[in-house]
Amino acid sequence: METTDDTKHFDDLDFRNPALGTPELIAKLSTWELLEHVLSLDVEATRILYLWGPPGTGKTYCAFHFGRVENGFYAVTLTDETSAAELRGHFIFRGGDAVWHNGPFVRAMLEGKRLVINEIGNANADVLALLFPILESLETAEITLPTGKTIRPAPGFHVVATDNRPPDQLPEALDDRFGVHVRVSEPHPNAIARLHPQLREVALASAGLDDERRVSPRGWLSLQSLIPVFGLEAGCQLAFGPDRGPLVFEAIVMARHAKPQKKPKRR
């Protein structure tokens, strides 16, 4: 068989990624360190990325802030009623004339920017039919607009999709288009750092709990902003409701009392 452009480098492929370092170093990176690195790379292999994990861990925050976002980005959140027309674009009637208006998908492609698609698992058949050609490799990705114009992605165009669902719960042909899948199960350290030390401690201790008992960074940050107004107990009730609120309150109080108290200094 003849060597193709894709395989001609394989003779000396040693499965070490020079951009990242040795496999030993990669193994030491946390999920977040790896993800931040991946988001900063301008390579085809990591251009179409899927992030999934429990609510509030920082998937959307990272898609908005980390890596190649210096030129801006476009973001959409899908529901099962989102139409392909609002993502691709549509005609607007001005003074009797039909004027074409590009939607966020087409703008991100033309401007070579990041496209963030939150809750991508909600894509309906109409949206999937638009997504499939867009998520192809740069060589083949293209869509033809109702104006007749064909759009191809400019260099720099890349996609970060987020959802709570694991990839195997996505339509197979959609999942197949993601070159990289990252499970984000731990809150980002910077999100935890925003918490008061007493909340931080409980938040870190609860990070490993099962989904039903875990409080997300979003939940801790909401509680933190409620406490100065309502106090700890009512703040917990308001943030987490009458069932979970008292449990969280108890956990915080217990953590406070469990801490060894500093002895007053002798004179």
Ligand X SMILES: Nc1ncnc2c1ncn2[C@@H]1O[C@H](COP(=O)(O)OP(=O)(O)OP(=O)(O)O)[C@@H](O)[C@H]1O
Burial class (CB in 10 A: 0-12, 13-18, 19+), 235: buried
Residue 14 token pair:
């040693």
165 touches ligand X by CB under 6 A: no
Tell me: does residue 121 bind ligand X (CB under 6 A): no
The continuous run of DSSP H or E covering 151 comes out as strand 150-151
Query: Considering only residues 31, 60, 122, 164, which one is a binding residue for Mg ion as defined by CB under 5 A?
Result: 60
Residue type, 253: V
Q: What angle do CA 107, 109, 113 make, to 5 degrees?
A: 85
Nearest residue to the partner Mg ion, using Cβ: 60
Contact track, Mg ion, 4-43, x by CB under 5 A: ----------------------------------------
Considering only 46, 56, 74, 123, the residue that binds ligand X (CB under 6 A) is: 56
Helix H or strand E encompassing 51: strand 48-52
Q: Is 230 in the site for ligand X (CB under 6 A)?
A: no
* Shortest Å, Cβ 203 to Mg ion: 18
Least Å distance between CB 59 and Mg ion?
Answer: 5
Report, in angstroms and rounded to the nearest whole number, the Rg of the chain calculated over CA atoms: 23
Least spacing, CB of residue 151 vs ligand X, in Å: 28
Query: Contacting ligand X (CB under 6 A), which of 28, 152, 194, 213?
Result: 194
Residue 241: contacted member of Mg ion, ligand X, none (CB under 5 to 8 Å, by partner type): none
Largest CA distance in the chain: 88
183 has which bridge partners?
A: 52
Choose which of 47, 88, 113, 188 interacts with ligand X (CB under 6 A).
Answer: 188
Residue 58 within binding range of ligand X, rule CB under 6 A:
yes
114 binds ligand X (CB under 6 A): no
Give the residue from 122, 163, 115 showing the smallest Cα distance to 141.
115
Compute the distance between CA of residue 82 and CA of residue 66 in angstroms, rounded to an integer.
26
Handedness of CA 208, 211, 217, 223 (dihedral sign): negative
- Residue 206 as a binder of Mg ion (CB under 5 A): the answer is no
CB of 265 to ligand X, least distance (A): 37
67 binds ligand X (CB under 6 A): no
Q: Does 219 bind ligand X (CB under 6 A)?
A: no
Judged by CB under 6 A, the stretch of 9-17, 58-66, 142-150, 228-236 that binds ligand X is 58-66
Burial 186-215 (b: 16+ CB within 10 A, else e): bbbeebbeebeeebebbbeebbeeeeeebb
Q: Among 59, 88, 113, 214, which residue interacts with ligand X (rule: CB under 6 A)? A: 59
Q: Phi and psi dihedrals of 69, rounded to 5?
A: -120, 10
Please, which residue, 63 or 106, has the CB nearer to ligand X?
Answer: 63
Note whether 124 binds Mg ion by CB under 5 A.
no
**Site of interaction with ligand X (CB under 6 A):** 55-61, 162, 164, 188, 190-191, 194, 217-218, 221
